[in-house]
Amino acid sequence: MRGGGLWQLGLSITRRLAQADKKAVGRRYFASEAELKKTVLYDFHVANGGKMVPFAGWGMPIQYKDSIMESTVNCRQNGSLFDVSHMCGFSLKGKDCVPFLEKLVIADVAALAPGTGTLTVFTNEKGGAIDDSVITKVTDDHMYIVVNAGCRDKDLAHIEAHMKSFKAKGGDVSWHIHDERSLLALQGPLAAPVLQHLTKEDLSKVYFGEFRITDINGARCFITRTGYTGEDGFEISVPSENAVDLAKAILEKSEGKVRLTGLGARDSLRLEAGLCLYGNDMEQHITPVEAGLNWAIGKRRKAEGGFLGAEVILKQLAEGPKVRLVGFSSTGPPPRSHSEIQDEKGTNIGEITSGGFSPCLKKNIAMGYVKSGFHKAGTKAKILVRGKAYDGVVTKKPFVPTKYYKPS
């Protein structure tokens, strides 16, 4: 998910709305509302107190009536329902869809069993990340992929250009962009028990990373047991005409414990889980190795390459990258994106890419890139916030333990 400073933006809106000059806030954050795309749940968000902000060309809820802090904690204690319909889901089909996709991503797509998926990265010729994505093998000739809203145009253009070349050489692959569907993310410990009320599918047999096409609340849905919070949960692709009814049914079945949750809490949840945010922690000049995603590069791909930028990435795997993404805990004000990181002598060693106050841990957490050699857990550092240096220490991620539902 692309974006920056969502947590800070949400807090800023909360503070400003509490002040007298609400008209100025409206002009600043809502001026371009007429130009923004809206998900089918837009009016539902507004009716439920959603504070709508521009995000990646869409009008999206940053938060609802409760605070970002409260929403974050409730997700981990009970559950959250997010509208993530701004993200782009599409299908690749054809007998050559797997070898085609393997030219563009670092995953061992061929090794995925039907009905399973993985996080992967679309790379460029220099090994940099064009986008991170969850890909799922529905069948051997059908892949389902979700890419970030802010990367949609460049991702689709990149894929289309390579598809034309691939098909010109006789490759059998086609695609369909699922603009007729909406995407909901149900996350937290109540996700499975609540969703089970709405489907005959036995969710106890659907593990983390697995995919099903099944009826939920009477609508044919794609469900993936995954998410962006570190909690157990599901991403549910639903026909857009059924999306509002499904959202209402989920909230009703939870008896008020699962709450509508905005992008602000989504950002703090993913940071607590140590998950990258494209546009902050990953960019076109950052490789998967530098971002700590070595595990996402399939074993066969490490041996054979065959994807864009493989030469650069395989060299980094062999020799080690010059910079690495690490986690931090710190004192003082919360670090923000672009805060300078120094060693104990005051020499620049890197930069924070995401940071904030953890609602669940009640302390500052952050992620950033440092020079190799300063990346080991326990390494002390100084983090500059508004020109003043504060103590920081490299901390293992995730900051909050993940609770993915896996076979025991």
**Within a domain: 225:** yes
H/E run at residue 138: strand 129-139
Query: H-helix or E-strand containing 317?
Result: helix 310-319
Same domain, 369 and 245: no
Token couple for 356: 């904030």
Any known ligand binding at 235? yes
Looking at 229, 249, 271, the residue that finishes a domain is 271
Q: Are residues 261 and 332 both part of a single domain?
A: no
Say yes or no: 344 and 265 in one domain: no
Bond into 398 cis (ω within 30): yes
Name the residue among 285, 288, 364 with its Cα closest to residue 329: 364
What distance in Å separates the CA atoms of residue 210 and residue 123, rounded to the nearest whole number?
Answer: 24
Q: Which domain holds residue 328?
A: 322-397
| Cβ pair 188, 269 in contact under 8 A | no
Let me know if residue 297 belongs to a domain. no
Q: What is the C-alpha R_g of the chain?
A: 21
Distance from C-alpha of 24 to C-alpha of 94, rounded to nearest angstrom: 53
Instruction: Indicate if 63 and 199 belong to the same structural domain.
Output: yes
Residue found by looking up tokens 């080991």 in the block:
376
Q: Looking at the domain assignment, is residue 236 inside a domain?
A: yes
Q: What is the pTM of this model?
A: 0.93
**Are the C-beta atoms of residues 149 and 334 closer than 8 Å to each other?**
no
Q: Would you write out the chain's pLDDT as a tens digit for each of its 408 residues?
A: 444 456 555 555 444 444 433 333 343 344 456 789 999 999 999 999 999 999 999 999 999 999 999 999 999 999 999 999 999 999 999 999 999 999 999 999 999 999 999 999 999 999 999 999 999 999 999 999 999 999 999 999 999 999 999 999 999 999 999 999 999 999 999 999 999 999 999 999 999 999 999 999 999 999 999 999 999 999 999 999 999 999 999 999 999 999 999 999 999 999 999 999 999 999 999 999 999 999 999 999 999 999 999 999 999 999 999 999 999 999 999 999 999 999 999 999 999 999 999 999 999 999 999 999 999 999 999 999 999 999 999 999 999 999 999 998
- Cβ-Cβ contacts under 8 Å for 33 (sequence gap 6 or more): 52, 54, 59
Residue of 333, 343, 391, 388 whose CA lies nearest to 370? 343
- The total of structural domains in the chain comes to 2
Is 143 domain-assigned?
no
Q: From start to end of 252-330, where are the E strands?
A: 258-260, 323-330
